[in-house]
Amino acid sequence: MDKFERARKLPIAWEGKPPRQRVGLALGGGAARGIAHVGVLEALEEAHIPIDYIAGTSAGAVVGGLYAAGLSIAELRQMVSKLNWHEVATIGVPKLGLFNFDKAAQWIEELLENHPRTFEELSIPFVAVAADIIEGELVAINSGKLSTALRASCSIPGIFNPTRMGKRLLVDGGILNNLPVSVVQQLGADYSIAVDLLPPGTVGGKEPNNVMELSTIALYMLMRSTHNDGPKADRVIIPAIGHVNFFDLGHKDELLNAGRAAAQKLIPMIRQDLGID
């Protein structure tokens, strides 16, 4: 470490009140498990933890994007209560996916009826993380239509058809970064909180019953290996939801409560880290 690096690391004694750390939230993917993110947001909001930036992958992109657009916790809970797979996907011709995912963008547009619909209008800076299946690049989407970006971030390869954005063919960002801590840090976060829906040893949960479940479990085993950003977070919230199947929407209340409970356990430490009385 040279003298300039040492100088940059010297502690600062503030005579007045130091500026507040800018807080970033990195929301990981996990299909139906993403409902737990709503419980996390609810607990953070009740504890008056400020959220300045959000980055999300897959289900984390959907919840994070809607929250950044101004949907309240009550609206997100209502969305969860009505959520079913028929609203967002239909059986399609299996060329690039078993299911056509075009309805997902329409569903998001309906949820945003009275809210901003583009990144440029969002109340909280937000990035949806996707992957370019042709170039093999991580794509951080932060401009244009929110509905298209969220659909792209959730396009699980082989399950849902990809999303075309310009020259790019985009799929679920989890294949390259399922816990986008570095992305939210690049947005400007000084302090980052990650929400991990794929803790080690909880990817499968049970024996698959069909080819879709088998493909999804195999894919999320791969995504588990893309959690390299996890250690970069200041705090990682891990809801106890490893037993919930990725496509099982029959545990909505359990997922909401688990997300809320996991966040509440860390809130005292987060408040201490941020100097919140």
72 is catalytic: no
- Determine which one of 52, 132, 153, 172 is catalytic: 172
Calpha distance 227→238 (Å, rounded):
13
CA 103 to chain centre: 20
Cβ atoms of 141 and 152 closer than 8 Å: yes
* CB-count burial class (<10 Å; 0-12, 13-18, 19+) for 19: exposed
172 is catalytic: yes
CA 54 to chain centre: 8
Cβ atoms of 41 and 73 closer than 8 Å: yes
Residues annotated as catalytic (active site), given as ranges: 58, 172
